Amino acid sequence: MTSLPDRPSRPSPAEYRELLRAHLEPVLERAARSTHLPLAACADSVLSAALRASVDLPLFVNSQMDGYAVRSADVAGAGPDSPARLTVVGAVHAGDGPGPDVDDDEACKIMTGAPVPRGADCVVPIEDTTVSETDPTVVLVHAPRSRGEFIRRPGDDVRAGDVVIDAGVRLQARHLAAAASLGESGLGVRPRPRVGVVATGSELVAPGRPLAPGQIWESNSITLAAALKACGCEVTTTLISGDDRAAFTSTLDEAAGDADLVVTVGAVSMGDAEVVRQVLADREGARFAPIAMQPGGPQGLSSWRGTPVVCLPGNPVSAMVSFVVLLRPVILEAVGRAPIRPVRARLSRDVTSPAGRVQYLRAALAADGDGRPTADPVSGPGSHLVASMARADVLIEIPADVTSLESGAEVDVLPL
């Protein structure tokens, strides 16, 4: 490994992430509040306060099996060759009331989930019974059952006041099932940040449309929208704007209309047609300057109509790496989800890196013959190599003071 002295001249990714976090403080504050949503709309949201059971579950004494509700004393001596003979006094199904009381030498036919009649203290599964051939009102019980067998009682699942789902849990189907079983019609959750996405560039054409000379198919808005949704955001709009200032400002108006945050992609560097920089750089609190990372050096922060704007570079790889390294951690904090941590892996081959910048190499995570995680770079460092991004599932992080690493060296890798 070759190292060079630290020569800070631009913010590191970690330092810039703190600048970005401060810029998005209004988004973080808004997202920290609780909003009540119908249960069907809560999937994948984060619970803002612990859910406590308002009732015992099960709600009442009910049967665990299809069979007969009986008194355990009446079947204590039952066996295959010496069945207990009980008179059937009725039947009860799920959704019915308790049904007829059960007295000595009596049984009530019962279905799973039905309330257990008074007098019965256990349930005999139907496979342990037969109906008398000579008297259909008599059931023969061929196995003994103890008091409480195959009966569900209130509190067996949860007691009123117990915590059923902890605050901060990302709600999945199983959590919604528990909430619904407690009679909850909705839950208090962290609100999803509403984000508008704007891709810029006169050369951009929507996928599926024919290209004129010099044009390319636009991918950034689709990529960023998908990444934001995966982090728990609500994407309010995805727009494409050319390099005309008037058209871009109109697009910003539309994107910021009902959004908590606008993310732009492209036109933040030093060229002649950097419309994002030209329109937004002079606004109060704006910052447009490169940071010490590759790819993704050019970055911008600004606002529009009171809405924070985060400006990412336009090369598709630069945009995606910038999102994963810089913006994703703040978004995950806003929605209340756990951060995505780097893991350690060994390089599969030698790599080099420019001095003074943290480099992020796309790589595929695998395992060597001993089961140890290995990171295999899938392409060169160029920010235009977008197709190879599909084969990568991690980013290798190479520190700014490291210019080369040999195969087998341990590195931090960040899951994409």
Residue 359: closest CA among 404, 314, 389: 404
Residue 223 pLDDT exceeds 70: yes
**Neighbouring residues of 22: CB distance < 8 A, sequence distance ≥ 6:** none
Q: State the pLDDT at residue 4.
A: 43
Query: In this structure, how many other beta carbons lie within 10 angstroms of the beta carbon of residue 176?
Result: 17
Q: State the pLDDT at residue 387.
A: 65
Q: What angle do CA 28, 29, 33 make, to 5 degrees?
A: 110
Say if residue 85 is exposed, middle or buried (CB neighbours under 10 Å; 0-12, 13-18, 19+). middle
**Prediction pTM value:** 0.84
Residue 394's SS3 state is: strand
**Neighbouring residues of 301: CB distance < 8 A, sequence distance ≥ 6:** 19, 20, 23, 285, 286, 287, 288, 308, 309, 310, 311
Residue 384 pLDDT exceeds 70: no
Beta bridge partners of 346: 374, 410
Structure confidence at residue 96 as a pLDDT band (50, 70, 90): very high
Q: What is the mean pLDDT of the chain?
A: 93
Give the span between the Cα atoms of 6 and 358, in whole angstroms: 11
Residue 47 is given by DSSP the state B
Beta bridge partners of 123: 69
Beta strands in 266-370 (DSSP E): 287-290, 293-294, 298-304, 307-312, 343-347, 351-352, 358-367
Q: What is the pLDDT of residues 341-367, one digit of tens each?
A: 999 999 999 999 999 999 999 999 998
Residue 45: closest CA among 225, 195, 168: 168
Residue 283 pLDDT exceeds 90: yes
Helices (H) then strands (E): counts for the chain: 8, 29
Residues 109, 92 contacting (CB under 8 angstroms): yes
Give the span between the Cα atoms of 414 and 416, in whole angstroms: 6
Question: Where is pLDDT greater, at 243 or 138?
Answer: 138
Beta bridge partners of 194: 234
Q: What is the pLDDT of residues 121-151, one digit of tens each?
A: 999 999 999 999 999 999 999 999 999 999 9
Residues 318, 391 contacting (CB under 8 angstroms): no
> Residue 56: phi, psi to the nearest 5?
-75, 145
Query: In this structure, how many other beta carbons lie within 10 angstroms of the beta carbon of residue 21?
Result: 17
Residues 247, 264 contacting (CB under 8 angstroms): no
Query: For the ranges 110-124, 206-220, 379-393, which has the lowest average pLDDT?
Result: 379-393
